[in-house]
Structure 1
Amino acid sequence: MLIRKFEGETPKIDPKAFVAETAVVIGKAEMKEYSSVWYNVTVRGDVNRIEIGRYTNVQDNSVLHVSDTHPCILGDYVTVGHCALLHACTVEDHVLIGMHSTVLDGAVIGRGSIVAAGAVVTKNTIVPPYSLVAGVPAKIIKKLPENTDATHAQAVKYENLWTRRYGLLPDGGGEEYHGEKIV
């Protein structure tokens, strides 16, 4: 892993967070407890800040970046699928960002929402809470039930993967995944 200071700013990584060996975390980046960034992920907080919430996982080959005017903020219990690009956007709690999707500058993904695989959420788009969005450009497909159990379980399952199965925090300490339905 490469943890790099940028213009005097060193990433703040909770001791209970996981950064894979090939991930890069730069500058004004904060990872909260039980969050994880996986193989070949880039978290580049150079010209603005990045926040990764509790139990949030950013999967392989994804990129988090910022702009001069917008940070990149991920709430708690967020799952970011493989090869996603999140640029200068806000993702609220209990959201699933599908594989190969893109969320652009100033966009806000509301709590409990799902961004389908391959979707492109364009600049300054506001996705209401509990929405399913898909397509290029992404459009609201339907309203989702106001229940975050499945996205919560998905995030906890990922935390359990790296803490227990990878043996990184063998005593655990976080929430337990018990086979609940996931997204």
Structure 2
Amino acid sequence: MPSYEIDGIVPVVGSDTFVHPTAVLIGDVIIGNGCYIGPLASLRGDFGRIVVGAGSNVQDGCVLHSFPGRDLVLDPGSHIAHGVVLHGCTVGSGAMVGMNSVVMDGARIGAGGLVGAGSFVPADLDVPAGHLVAGSPAKVIRELDEQTAAWQANGVAVYQELASRSLATLREVEPRVSVEVDRRRVSTDRGVSAPLHELRRAVVEGRTR
């Protein structure tokens, strides 16, 4: 992985953490144990400190940064989806920031909270633990129901397992020129995780039968 020192400060990566070779770590970045950092993620600790708590995931194309002297903190078990921009904010344990969202300086996403996909969370917004925030600008919508909270927790576990799988089996290779007969699938299947709307539909259909 490209990892860069600045002002004599070197990034720290904990044990059992997977950082994709195309991710970039700069300066004051501290990543805990058992994390997953995806392809093309940029963690720039050239102004302020970036802390990624144990068991968290920062998925592909995410950008993490802060103003000078300010920290960006992901508490343990944070779940940061594809294409998210985080700037000088705090994300609580077990919270999820949905795809292509932006969370601004001083915003605080409480433990187990959920930022809806495509949201813009303005500076200094305080999202209570276990609540959904969504929109542009984002507003606190409601407390999460049990099904959503369980789905979210499963997503964190799936990415912790992906970190282990990636450390064990991810290798750079040349692609094949044709599809082999009886091509296998990767080890995860539909039983591991599903979109939330599918789970909700299954519950509704089960009730109406």
TM-score (normalizing by structure 2): 0.78
Q: CA deviation at 1:69?
A: 4.3
Distance (whole Å) between structure 2 residues aligned to residue 29 and residue 77 of structure 1: 17
Map of 1:93 onto structure 2: 93
Distance (whole Å) between structure 1 residues aligned to residue 11 and residue 103 of structure 2: 23
Distance (whole Å) between structure 1 residues aligned to residue 81 and residue 193 of structure 2: 19
2:17 matched to 1:17?
yes
Map of 2:155 onto structure 1: 154
Q: CA deviation at 1:163?
A: 1.2
Kept after mapping to 2: 8 A contact 1:66/1:72: yes
Amino acid at match of 1:115: V
Map of 1:174 onto structure 2: none
Map of 1:37 onto structure 2: 37
Kept after mapping to 1: 8 A contact 2:89/2:104: yes
SS of 2:10's partner is coil
Distance (whole Å) between structure 2 residues aligned to residue 73 and residue 158 of structure 1: 19
Gaps of 5+ in 2: 170-190, 197-209
Q: CA deviation at 1:182?
A: 7.9
- The Cα RMSD (Å) is 1.9
Greater share of helix: 2
Distance (whole Å) between structure 1 residues aligned to residue 33 and residue 124 of structure 2: 29
Distance (whole Å) between structure 2 residues aligned to residue 57 and residue 41 of structure 1: 11
Distance (whole Å) between structure 1 residues aligned to residue 193 and residue 105 of structure 2: 34
SS of 2:64's partner is strand
Of the structure 1 ranges 60-69 and 138-147, higher mean CA displacement relative to structure 2 is found in 138-147
Distance (whole Å) between structure 2 residues aligned to residue 38 and residue 179 of structure 1: 19
Q: CA deviation at 1:117?
A: 0.5
Count of matched residue positions in the alignment of Structure 1 and Structure 2 = 174
Distance (whole Å) between structure 2 residues aligned to residue 180 and residue 23 of structure 1: 25
Gaps of 5+ in 1: 171-177
TM-score (normalizing by structure 1): 0.88
Within 5 Å, give how 1:44-123 maps onto structure 2: 44-123=44-123
Kept after mapping to 1: 8 A contact 2:35/2:163: no
SS of 1:43's partner is strand
Identity over aligned pairs, percent: 34
Distance (whole Å) between structure 1 residues aligned to residue 195 and residue 67 of structure 2: 33
Map of 2:5 onto structure 1: 5
SS of 1:48's partner is strand
Amino acid at match of 2:10: T
Q: CA deviation at 1:180?
A: 7.3
Deviations 1:61-115 (A, max 9, x none): 0000011242110011111111100000000100010000000011110011000
Distance (whole Å) between structure 2 residues aligned to residue 180 and residue 85 of structure 1: 24
